[in-house]
Each structure stands twice: as C-alpha cells, then as structure tokens.
Amino acid sequence: MFEIAIDRDACDGIFACLARDGRFVEDDDGLATIDPDAAGVVRVKRTDERVVALLEGDAEADEDAALAARACPPGAISVREVDA
Ligand code: SF4
C-alpha cells in the first residue's frame, strides 16, 4: 500500500499533476485531489490542509504518482509507502 498526500496550502491549482496521473482531479475549491473512484484507490481523506489517499500497490512501482510529484511546481505532492 502507498499514500499520495497533497498539501492544500501549497497547491496553487496549476494542475500539472492532472496531466501526468489520471487519478488527480480538480476539487470544488479549484485545488487538486484524488478521485476516490479511480482504480486502486482505497480511500481519500480531505481536510482543510491536506488530501491523503491510500492506494493499493507499491510507491516505487507507481510511475504516474512519481511523475505528478516531480511535476508539481510548489512540491505539494508527496508519495510514500505505508503499512497495510
Ligand atoms: S501540480 Fe501541484 S500545485 Fe498544481 S494542482 Fe497539482 S498538486 Fe496543486
């Protein structure tokens, strides 16, 4: 399992992430979030500060998430392995 987190304070809605990982979508505040219905997404929690999505699979093997994180100009996206 792995986690994709978006720092909503840092996110500026440029949406470079959407072009690189189809699981990223725009939320109702004009910021990035993760589609809870996308393949492999177990759950998505959103607070004012953060979106945290739990996904099936390995962080290192998930190239799209890594591309999205690298493409994010303010570095708002983090990807890390978590225990099931
Ligand atoms: S690329 Fe980064 S700053 Fe831009 S919408 Fe995605 S998470 Fe937000």
Question: Best mutation site among 12, 24, 44 for ligand 1, i.e. most ligand atoms within 8 A of its Cβ?
Answer: 12
Tokens 């990807």 belong to residue: 79
Does residue 59 register a pLDDT over 90? yes
Q: Which token pair is 76?
A: 């708002």
Instruction: Determine the distance from the C-alpha atom of residue 39 to the mean position of all C-alpha atoms in its chain, rounded to a whole number.
Output: 13
Ligand 1 neighbours (beta carbon < 6 A):
6, 11-17, 32, 72, 74, 76-77
Q: Nearest C-alpha to atom 2 of ligand 1 is from which residue? A: 72
pLDDT, residue 11, reads: 98
pLDDT, residue 42, reads: 98
Q: d(Cα 65, Cα 74) in Å, to the nearest integer? A: 16
pLDDT tens readout for residues 30-50: 999 999 999 999 999 999 999
